[in-house]
Amino acid sequence: MQISSKVQIVSEKIIRTLSGLLASRSVATPLRVCSIGCGTGELDRVWLSKLQDQFPDFTVEYVGVDIDDTVCKAAEDNVGSLDFVTSKIYCQDIQEGLVDEVVKFDFFLSISSFYFIKTPDKVLDMCRKLTSPEGKTMSIYDNVHCKILLWVISPCNIDAHGVVKMHVT
Ligand SMILES: C[S@@+](CC[C@H](N)C(=O)[O-])C[C@H]1O[C@@H](n2cnc3c(N)ncnc32)[C@H](O)[C@@H]1O
């Protein structure tokens, strides 16, 4: 499959963001990922596969959330067919929260989806509550001037009112 330069860059940024965490933990503990607005999961499939190339012993517990039921089935197929991944897709509005998820996540990822969410502070607050102490929230989106903007948001930088201090890397 031909991988576009955007997907390539996004994958490299994600792997760089997660590599410290993976290097310092036991492979017995799966990496817990939540993809907000996962779409068809095609992009997630690419970066997850690249992550596995570099960290072959790790397994991933993937939760995808998307409001559009036409893409959820494709996400189940695209991500669920990876043999190192166990997946669950919620076809719902992320603003309703993840009521069935009690185990914390290592990584919340939003690729081109925060743009559509009416209450981003509420969603970020949910991320903060459901992120493991060493976990990260990352939002990636396009910008007409810089081709890709990447925000890595440390959950501890989100205050009680949902105001976020962001690091651009
Ligand atoms: C531009 S697409 C990006 C899809 C995927 N992340 C990717 O990069 O290929 C944005 C996705 O966000 C989803 N979305 C928009 N608002 C949402 C919401 N409130 N809750 C969950 N998903 C939402 C849309 O249905 C769409 O699939």
pLDDT attached to residue 3: 67
Given a contact cutoff of 8 angstroms between Cβ atoms, the answer to whether 65 and 39 are in contact is no
pLDDT attached to residue 166: 46
Q: Which of 3-7, 56-60, 123-127, 158-162 has the lowest mean pLDDT?
A: 158-162
Q: What angle in degrees, to the nearest 10, is found between the helix axes of 69-80 and 42-54?
A: 20
Q: Which residues line ligand 1 (CB under 6 A)?
A: 37-39, 43, 65-68, 71, 93-95, 111-113, 116-117
Given a contact cutoff of 8 angstroms between Cβ atoms, the answer to whether 46 and 7 are in contact is yes
pLDDT attached to residue 155: 54
Given a contact cutoff of 8 angstroms between Cβ atoms, the answer to whether 71 and 40 are in contact is yes
Confidence of residue 154 (pLDDT cuts 50, 70, 90): low
pTM (global) more than 0.85? yes
pLDDT attached to residue 125: 87
Confidence of residue 90 (pLDDT cuts 50, 70, 90): very high
Instruction: Parse the chain into domains and list their residue ranges.
Output: 32-144+155-168
Provide mean pLDDT across the span 15-44: 95
* Tally of CA atoms within 13 A in the half-sphere of 26 that contains its CB: 2
Q: Which residues does 22 contact at the CB level (< 8 Å), separation at least 6?
A: 31, 51, 55, 58
Give the Å distance between the CA of 93 and the centre of ligand 1.
10
pLDDT attached to residue 95: 97
pLDDT attached to residue 121: 84
SS3 148: strand
Q: For residues 121 and 45, which has the higher predicted lDDT (pLDDT)?
A: 45
Pocket mutation for ligand 1, best pick of 67, 78, 92, 113 (most atoms within 8 Å of C-beta): 113
For 32-144+155-168, CATH number out of 3.30.360.10, 3.40.47.10, 1.10.10.10, 3.40.50.150 equals 3.40.50.150
